[in-house]
Structure 1
Amino acid sequence: MNATFTEASFQNIVNVANKYGISTNAVTDLTFCLMNSNGTMAQFNIAELGGGGQWMQGGMTMVGDMFNNNLKYLVDGLCMDLSNLIQQRAIQYKPLPKTEHGQGGFSGNWWGDLGFPNSTGSQNGTSYAIFNDIHRLAIQENGKVTVFDTLDNNIGGVGQQQGGNYSVTFTSQYGNVNLGSLPIVSGSYGVQKSQPIQNNEAQKNVVENIVAPVNAPIEAVNNNSVFEEDIFVKIEKLAGLKDKGILSVEEFENKKSDLLNRL
């Protein structure tokens, strides 16, 4: 029973799973990862796809077993099909029903003006709203709302936590999400709030810090797969800066081309 995607979207996911002979759950997990970037890239950890892997549209495909070309072709085919469906809006999240608090359904909700959540719920007195599209997680407990910047975590699982500051725990493509390590956008969970970049010089420093580690000669890297993975991670971080308006599309494309040329 699907509770996240529209019926038509979920049927498209099932069709892709049947086409490649992969379980619907595995393809659904991969879809969550792709939705986070509007179908342009994915970083995943899915057992049926060889564990950890990465994919970039028009770029490279990496899987845990780097010499398994069949697995690479499988992952690339899955990601390409799902990416096309996402960008054609043939895969979309299910809209939540309108609430009595606002005509648009969200103006009266406890998470404020964050917009449309990917999923919401409540466990043991703690309410949560997940916004993977804008990298936000809102938690309400004892009347206090805290909004986290989820960075590159694509949250897809929620469970019960024994002890800790909250009674719920979250999982992403990396495993359990440590809320204590996430920047806080609003609220006071005891973590330093994330600060916006104030000027062009600071923006330049952020970008250079991302790109600089791969400026070393390639021969200094003992393992090509590690080097490729490092470049992919850098590109993903740059994409996050672009999504937040810190980098322009042109600046992002230039930096991405520079990194890909080093492969």
Structure 2
Amino acid sequence: MSNLTANGRNTIEEIARRYGLSSGAVEHMARAVSNGGGTMAQFNVPELGGSGQWMAGGMTMVGDMFNSGLQNTVSNLCGELSNAMASTLFFEQPKTTMGGGSWPEWLGQPAASGGQNQARYAYFPQARRLAFDHGNGGALVLLDTGDHQISGFSQQQSGLSDPFGGVSVSSQFGQFALSSFPVVDQNSQGEPTMSAPPAQTGNPDFSPEPTNMPFDTQGQDTASNQAPAQPPQNTDDILGTIARLAQLRDAGALSEEEFATKKSELLARL
């Protein structure tokens, strides 16, 4: 039984009509984008040339490697699905998430959720709140997300002083640590007061790779990027991208020549 929401199904059908694809093909792509945290997708759709991969702000690979028209179609389709998921819940989510326990009902339906070790967290766009449960029996922490449209979670290295274990989020404003959002009272249901985005962490034009948190009913991420990430600019981002490209090469998704070409392009930015 499909767990597509009514809004998700309507959006998929509308996109399918515009792209001249079947609804099943677009739903497959939506799940692939969802499972990739909104920033990447691995798919196998006959209507789109079979197996392929998409990376936001990066390369799009299709079965017909030299078919630039098909590459553009896949890139545009994945980008549109990623953007749509930032404001539309495509797949039904359970009321409980990793480790069990429900969220306060007034928060509404989470658009993204995930967990690390005992901790669990979820983003509620209608309430404009992010809930964080450390999983140690302590009080639930609510964060004011203000005007942010959060598209996914990731984890970075952090010091012991970070109460959220290095968890960060992506939004239309960039990449932000949870510790940069203001904490609000658990029963605060009024309008958020934050009018400006908090301090960014890292390069706002590049979102770290999601920590294996797909957008499905397993209590993990359910949103996508508000906009495709831009190519990496600083040294750490470039080296990280090269490492991921090497993994794609080792997996057979990239030829040695393609890897060398992209590597040279990235190194030229240093």
Q: Same fold (TM over 0.5)?
A: no
Q: Which has the higher helix share?
A: 1
